[in-house]
Amino acid sequence: MLSISSGLPAAVRAKALCGAGVLSYWRGDSQQGAVFCQEALDAGQEIDDMVILGEAQHFLAHVAQNRGDLDQGVELLTASHENFLAIDHRWGIRRARNCLADAQRLQQNYDRAARNLEEAIQEQREITGGRDIMLAMYLSNYGNVLNRLGRYQLASDCFREGIRISQALNNSMMIAYLVDGMAGNAVLSGSPEEAALLIGASKGIFEAENIASMAAIDQFDHDYYVAEIRAKLEPDRLHELQEIGKRMTVRETVDYVLNQNRLAA
């Protein structure tokens, strides 16, 4: 188990506690991560370090969400966002907005999630010029929110832009997430067979990349899309189309989506 000496200078110890909390969280020990992050939060308050406060609150929010306390997750992410805003910490602000939007999606508060993602996307474009993987991720998240709001054309545009960015960066994992969102877009806008094909294609990419599971918020949307597809297709037809999709290469999938190739009857 990690331990942080109490004899360290206050600022150094606060950063070490925060780092230990993040490390523990990503190693799968969210309970120990929460202990470290809470200590980091207390230390950050003592020395008035907004970055430490924002970071600790960010990961404590993830822990809260993982145990099902969505309200506390939103409260902590809101505080993290405010602390980063206070010092104009641009990267922290964008990340907090994206994560706050994820929490609001789990609460099915899609209007607020959309506003947070719109701001994050605008700032990311201004800073990076629109060619980085974080923008692709924000576009994927925004597209899924727009799907829920019934704004299908704008959602489709977001997914396609994200796929173009991800293709240019050779990031197949992000393409898989975006294609999954496109599947949802297809079924919700009246094309369940196309959706089944794309769900299969997304799954095929995930398997090729050895990705065993989605992030919780993406799984939440994926399960909704699959339920909608199952409600509209016979099981045999669904299975047939998913298998066709799984056999598509990443390049074939990207070409299908970007060129709006229609599914043959």
Single residue among 129, 161, 185 that ends a domain in this structure: 129
To the question of pTM greater than 0.85 for the whole model, the response is no
- Do residues 105 and 162 share a domain? no
With tokens 């989506």, the residue in question is 257
Q: Tokens in use for 124?
A: 């990311």
Cα distances (angstroms) measured from residue 51 to each of 3, 19, 56, 162? 22, 12, 9, 30
- Do residues 48 and 159 share a domain? no
* pLDDT tens digit sequence for 2-36: 555 566 788 888 888 888 887 877 666 778 888 88
- Do residues 76 and 169 share a domain? no
Of residues 56 and 24, more confidence is placed in 56
* pLDDT tens digit sequence for 104-144: 998 899 999 999 999 999 988 988 887 899 999 999 999 99
Residue 150 within a domain: yes
Residue 204 within a domain: yes
Residue type, 80: S
Single residue among 71, 94, 129 that ends a domain in this structure: 129
Which of 176, 107, 173, 104 is closest to 142 using CA atoms?
A: 104
Query: Which domain, by its residues, includes 165?
Result: 139-265
Residue 215 within a domain: yes
Cα distances (angstroms) measured from residue 191 to each of 87, 187, 232, 257, 263? 47, 5, 9, 13, 10
Q: Tokens in use for 116?
A: 């947070």
Q: Across all residues in the chain, what is the average pLDDT?
A: 89
265 pLDDT higher than 50: no
Q: Calculate the CA 148 to chain-centre distance.
A: 15
Contact call for residues 77 and 96 (beta carbons, < 8 A): yes
- Do residues 108 and 156 share a domain? no
Single residue among 108, 129, 150 that ends a domain in this structure: 129
- Do residues 15 and 81 share a domain? yes
Q: Tokens in use for 204?
A: 């095929």
What contacts 52, CB < 8 A, 6 or more positions away? 14, 15, 18, 40, 41, 43, 44
- Do residues 40 and 154 share a domain? no
